Structure 1
Amino acid sequence: MTLTDLLHALDSGETVPANSPLHAVMHETSQEALRITGELNGKYHEPVRVRELLAELTGREIDESVTLFPPFTSDFGKNIRLGKRVFLNAGCRFQDQGGIEIGDDCLIGHNTVIATLNHDLAPSRRGDLHPSPVVIGKNVWIGANVTILPGVTIGDDAVIAAASVVTKDVPARALMVGSPARILRTVEG
């Protein structure tokens, strides 16, 4: 099994059984992510070097307009896609095996957690992993200490208030608050 095989399985929403060859590739890739984020977070880097490390982590080109304030952690890295003019504030944690896509002009607040994997509920299969992507539209503002759960899509221009837990899809231009997050109102303008 290769990383390409694993990414195909993850992007297809296939279950990754515990102790399978796919799981082994995932673990190997996670070790690389830990090495890269360790370097990223271990000392000060100029913004250009931060983007270089982020590109190494994701395996994708990172636009020069992207800004990341470390520390940043990802336990996989290879399934993150960032648009242009994205700002990731300090303390973000991405569990990206299932896929994280962040559109242009997004602001991601301190300590945001984005999860894209669930474990199986059955005790006998608890080690199995079920991937489900998180898609964040354009011009979304996510406040500090927000958690976004697997399978959530957030529409363009939405705002997620600080400390919210997003458990379901968010319409465009919605202002979401709480745990679980609910629509407070529509964002105007």
Structure 2
Amino acid sequence: MFSFKEYSREIFVTIILVLVLIVLRVLIANLIRRFAATSHLFENRTNLVIKYINILMNILITTSLIVVWGVETQDIFITISSIATVIGVAMFAQWSILSNVTSGMILFFSFPFRIGDTIKIHDKDFPIEAEIEDINTFHVSLKTKEGEKIIFPNNLLLQKGISIIPAKYEEREFFD
């Protein structure tokens, strides 16, 4: 039979860890947003960084809870290796998904273009000239001059030649 007295320490530590997670998520998100505002970073990139940090914190808290509740180390390694094997096989079978995620990370960290840039994708069969609306993990959202919305996979952006078209400024005559 389950007894609260028997597991009181584990329950107390679990509650504390969950509260710490909530407080850390709020504090870190606020710090990152402040830094992004002072550095003039795009909101989409800021939200992506916050999302990745939240995932990392969730993994750390989950690992801590596993240790607190006394799960055997051997059981943890067996579970992790089983999950890694399944994910590895699934990703190998779905290489395009892995390719898009990897390409999304490369685009995120290398900054070849930014949201709001107009790009031209040099594709022999389907050339595209459009403005970048959003950069996601799997794809980039583009909008043509005609208003057509195009979702373009990240891995193709790295495979195709791309020109960044500079913003056009109106030429005006200046008078003294």
TM-score range, shorter chain: under 0.3
Return the structure number with greater strand share.
1
| Structure 1 or 2: more helix by fraction | 2
Larger Rg: 2
